[in-house]
Structure 1
């Protein structure tokens, strides 16, 4: 089941909505503005990632995964139309697993306002109510304490540390893995 949702009410008048093909320009502007801010927390990106064309290509791939029910790409959009973050459920698996991976980031100028916490809570609610997921998993670099606090505030529990889990900022980096159990009911038919 694919959620198609526009949700108001996040802190600062920010809206959570699913991405659409016309968002490449706004995504490009957001990534360019936050390039240095995100660099320590993300894979190294080629220069074309920071172009409208690069974002259009990436967005097209993500929207195909969305249509296939494997990913949901949401944007955090300020009242002036700027993208101030993203939040994604990926690797969605139904059946007896009913699980997905959560990833998110917020604009450097929008941190410390409860935006990430509100968005993660909302997405977990959608994952449970509309998608029938049993659990959501998220990983953070071991030194990303701010993101760990967001997850803990949203009911995630630490499940372990994964050595050399992802290639981030040019090196294989250890991650702390968290999960949130969304419900105990059986998988949907």
Structure 2
């Protein structure tokens, strides 16, 4: 799958994740650990090490090569990773759907990066991956992420009790979807 690098905003680019990103991604997660903690699953200390990120990247890239997910990073013009976005759980055939997850560094909030990345990933999901829809979820308290999704054309499709294990507990989540097209699936 050929996925281009594109500028999102303010000199930040969206590009595919590569094996050489382990060190920069580790630094980004260490720097944003407290910022991301309320919104993400519990992360053991090993997650915040170069070895942990190297192992994680190997798994993500293996899943990418198998067609199960597509991982990107948001990179500043200085080469610093300031976010990530992933399509996971890709299912083709009659479903043609995937799940969307993303984060943006604490010092990069309110610059349009999340919305820009989500819009581009939706276009790639439709035009390159061939998906019909994308689903996303947020814990109820994550109003900022819900605003991003709504601005990017996602519709609320309900609430799921105890849907995700976030920061050490099962959390209720708001569910969203965006229909990308209504063409027949490529079988």
Shorter-chain TM-score tier? over 0.9
C-alpha distance in 1 between matches for 2:80 and 2:68: 26
Matches within 5 A, 1:110-129: 110-129=108-127
Determine which of 47, 50, 56 is the counterpart of 2:48.
Answer: 50
Cα distance in 1 for partners of 2:4, 2:46 equals 30
Runs of 4+ in structure 1 deviating by more than 4 angstroms, as ranges, are none
What is the count of residue pairs matched by the alignment? 187
Distance in 2 (CA, whole Å) between partners of 1:53 and 1:22 is: 12
What aligned pairs does 1:135-154 form with structure 2 within 5 A after superposition?
135-154=133-152
Look up the match of 1:170.
168
1:3 positional shift:
4.0
Q: How many angstroms does 1:5 deviate by? A: 2.1
Secondary structure of 2:10's counterpart equals helix
Distance in 2, Cα, partners of 1:141 & 1:64: 28
Task: Map Cα deviations across residues 60-101 of structure 1 (whole Å, 9 max, x no partner).
Answer: 000000000100010000000000000000000000000000
**Are residues 1:22 and 2:20 paired?**
yes
Q: 1:6 aligned to 2:8?
A: no
Q: Distance in 2 between matches of 1:56 and 1:153?
A: 34
Three-state SS of the structure 2 residue aligned to 1:31 is helix
Segments of structure 1 that go 5 or more residues without pairing to the other structure are: none
Structure 1 contact 3–131 (Cα < 8 Å) conserved: no
Residues of 2 paired with 1:16 and 1:151: CA distance? 18
Cα separation, 2, equivalents of 1:54 and 1:12: 30
1:37 aligns to what SS in structure 2? helix
- Deviation at 1:187? 0.3
Question: Given the two structures, how large is their TM-score scaled by the length of structure 2?
Answer: 0.99
Deviation at 1:127, TM superposition (A): 0.4
**2: distance between equivalents of 1:44 and 1:95?**
33
Which aligned pairs between 1:90-105 and structure 2 lie closer than 5 A? 90-105=88-103
Structure 2 unaligned regions, length at least 5: none
| Root-mean-square deviation (Å) | 0.7
Give, in whole Å, the separation in 2 of the partners of 1:130 and 1:117.
19
* Contact kept in structure 2, 1:140 and 1:148, CA below 8 Å: yes
